[in-house]
Amino acid sequence: MAKSFTREYRFELSTVMLAAGIVVTFIGSIGVFLPRLPDWLLAFEPAISGSGNWIYWYLVLGPLLLLAGGWWLYDSMRKIFSLRKYLKIDSKAKFVKSLDDIEYLAWVLPRKYEEQVLEKKRQFKM
């Protein structure tokens, strides 16, 4: 069964959200707090002036994107490390004991991790 787009591409989407949050927060911050831009920030002038009064919303949306993307990326990495720890188990009894957690992690993560779990199950002849 195919996984949802957000599950299959969670790393790419979280990274894009994090990067967009950084850029939007930066543009919003310099647009609001620096009324006259220094020479080295003049490259951002078209983005700031093109935003108009929306520049204030950048200070709201940017940090939200930053936090959401950062948390999603952190959560993904934490789940991968946890699943890899479970997949290093050499004892079938310990593996079966942790099977609920392993299957949940495989379900949440992209399809390649689910295939790794299936391979480990084949190794234990389950």
pLDDT digits (tens, 9 = 90+) for 26-52: 999 998 898 888 888 888 888 888 888
For residue 99, the one-letter residue type is L
User: How far, in Å, CA of 9 to CA of 23, rounded?
Assistant: 21
For residue 126, how far is the Cα from the chain centroid? 32
CA distance 20 to 65: 7
Per-residue model confidence as pLDDT tens digits over 48-73: 888 888 899 999 999 999 999 999 99
The CA distance from 25 to 22, in Å, is 5
* Calpha distance 13→6 (Å, rounded): 7
